[in-house]
Structure 1
């Protein structure tokens, strides 16, 4: 016998929106007030009130990022503290570890990327960034990429010597999440950060996209010079880009400065040599992770054909959403990825309790090298 009763259950199908951390970055650097604090900023923030009245690299890069990102830009700032030891001629100033500052900021700021505004001069900081991505992924499941500022030419250093020094700096390092940005004009790391956060385009768009507009607030009005006063040329920028540096550029007879490409330190032939591929796969991973967590212990995910078909559709949801395109005045604006094909999500049961899910992400093609060939037709034709 069963006692008469009615039970009503509310089923949460997890169909709501998830927080978007894409286009939100953490800027870390020295200079200014509020050292040791994680500070939220946006287009309405008074940087002088927040960071102090004096000039600082951190403040100028934040301003450059805001100007290049445009509307609805927001970010976090972590000012590094300094400690003085000794006195007189023996006094030394030590700066707080930037990597530790990023770790501490995780309690407040979940971000897509980190921008280190203090220029690096050795491999240690690059390796530290690569390790930090793996650490944040292991501890929090967070996928973070990095923009590291690199020193400009020093006194007496010619462009050729500078290229040689920077070639050695990145040599033998494999870090697909790290971008090295030389400070030639001054504000390049902030400019690139802002360009990547511009909401007029998607995260799948390259920073080299000319239609996005010219770069703003590079840091100086004339071309940079090396340690001997020689003006920067395109050949030097091309050599740096070939060595996996992310640099600005210009086109002769075309006004404005633009970006060359969002190069990363991925290995030769790797899938993630440009930042847009890192970003779209990171975005898919963040959203699929939430879906997978919700399926822990859920027996509706099983090896029956019906379950596998249903969950192939479920785990393809992120790809379908990212593939949505728009059309304005006959011009199609592509989504972040191509629409998923039938076999782009594969579910394979390894045991009674373990299942492996494989997802294929297909980026759109992007024209970074365009060749136009002209043909002359000098044949006689009859005119009406």
Structure 2
């Protein structure tokens, strides 16, 4: 004798279809089985099916009960063929892609990997809008992935953004392969998953000096954005996430020591007078908190990460205002400080290996991406000298 209960799980997004699943109890084992039925939440009461919803729209209601239709009152002798180890129907329906992605993101949150969790949820949201409903991994094939890539392109997303979604989805798929949820069929082999080199823009030294000398006493938020930009530049292009989470106890004996969030590499920077002035300026803004700058106040990791993202958004918005005040010629972002330091260092003939070490890169190849525009101009000048005689 098996007991089967039909349940409904509402979507986390209001107005989106939920999912029907079955709880099968048989010989002291309970298995949860996802169906391919995705109704709106109104026919349901709580998590269990509302009997009044059966027969709606002229139907018998069996489309909501799937393979367990005919089980009277949720129990009886009719039971689908279940694989207890996989928790799926013998027909091959197992884990569903969107549900799996959201559970992975929840697990990443618990592990403190908030950035990766956010990328998973962002990709799940995009893929959900494309699909319109959840699907089992068995449906995730090359044709579907190509259709999704084309759908993204039609939404005018640049190639790097399309590639971002493909890489995240591929990572999820590979995790499912490792967990024997799906067989490896290489559905991503026909889509682009690389990273295009984009043009890197940098300020010249004179503009950085002008930015530093701006009188912003009447606008503390703009002054903070300017100080953080200059601080990043003076700290060898320190990333904004590392600035936001920079702790007071990282400053010892005139040295700031920190580990990069992106790579985990530990860096030490001598606290030059321009750096010290900025640090001292914000000492009284958050006396009870552990951080140098007044960007993050929560001690709870998840809340702190959300505060960081909000601070980054505000910072970039303020930098755009500063761009106009100094006539930068480009729109300032938190990354411009990093590119500017690398470019100015190269102009001062600092070796590439030294620049790479200063920026915390694990490879000079990564540093070279920051310097492409500069290197091209150097090569152009050299070429002009070489062919000068031909220009007469």
Q: Which has the higher contact order (CA 8 A, sep 6+)?
A: 1
**TM-score between the two structures when normalised by the length of structure 2:** 0.25
Rg comparison, structure with higher value: 2
Higher helix share: 2
**TM-score between the two structures when normalised by the length of structure 1:** 0.25
Higher strand share: 1
